[in-house]
Chain A
């Protein structure tokens, strides 16, 4: 089955629409091991390196993809749409203007945008995206989300390294869903039999910029911190909620996206705190690791308020800024070790 790629800095994209059209959704995540210089010809290198990595991947691999959709995300990606139009070869490049607000008007607008995307897909690929097909895709998505919820429950109780969790969250957005379900079922059995949560590790909540490569998680592992909760798009944002299987499937998708843990691109920014506070209430973490990728604007803007509020709530919190590199930065490891010491 052909891949249909999407570029999404949160979890805005309704994968179910391309599944109903007969494609495998594939989230563009760049590759930290590949230099960004192809993209650097078109984007200044003071712009988020992850976004440049995605452009590099788009330029190199677009011929493997049936098409590409963008979702309204951070300004860095929004404003790259035109660059992609000029420099990424594809027959189908589409922009879905998912709303930043979350009220009745914004949701009506979201529904309109999804229906518009569906009709463009139908026309371009000569397919019928029926309600039945959408409902089937929703059921498949829900199976993935439920399995991920089961797997995530094991994070605070079993010995699950940070990169093992990261690996399955990546699979969720890049693998064919049937193969994914089989892989997750196998992982669940394996994780259930793992040893207990290691006594020399500290459980933490991980928030901030999306961690898109396993080496980023290795920084935590090196400092003996285990992320047992998070609000990342490659993480709980993707599976915290399921989609209603009743009624109009497009409306169900809109409703789903209004309920998920919010990314920093949404208004108002307090919306993000709701889910973080819920995690902190549900799970006994010892601290919060708030990491931002260098030049990540939305998180840079959210950080002072969010960190301030969480500290006011009485949580131990450390802020680290990471480079986009597969090298484990010992300076960051050292800071996390200090954090561990003071806890």
Chain B
């Protein structure tokens, strides 16, 4: 274990080192971007939900996307993954233009996302949810499906992979249960594990910690670090500043649809523009300092 820890630390260190020379300003170019977005705009009627001039996501790093409620984070996720159509803009994934590509194709080429409102398939068992995530399954083709001998062995190996992940996410005792019988936090875990079944190159997690208890949070942080160790690029939306602080190599801040700040966690959380965006202008509080969360500090102020 200490050895693993050392490896993990060194990967984290190298991910951070790659970004250390990057200037902390919105839209800054990265040394090795997996995704680059330009002029992405989406409005709902008169409201411009997303208006991102330029943003790059560093390969192999854990990037946090933060911002107050309604900042446009989820909408940005939806646009990038093809679940919503941008009014304008282009973006590349692995140097390939992917704006306008069907969402299932984006998932196939390695851009897999989870949802803020969890989408565990509740009428299916946990293991079936997991199996659904695996790519290139012969038995998913119509004519092959009716000939089980064509896909039985693949089904078995998919099942083994699923069991491995379920164990990692502490869901292995729920294998045969309907996903609908899981708790909210367990569904988040299942959704994340299911996304990993698809071997993503870039995994995009929309609030993975929402509704997860503190003890589990720690192990979730571990899982996300493990993803990075295995070479997966992680982009996640999160409101829990401590978590953002703990695991992210880079933080991008959105407010009112625009990227207003970028940088390593320490730098960003001291940024006055970020504090203003979260707490309103002329506010003294800091986002994290002694570990108290944002809500606690604002509660303290209003009291």
A and B: bona fide binding partners: no
Interface residues of B (CB under 8 A from A): none
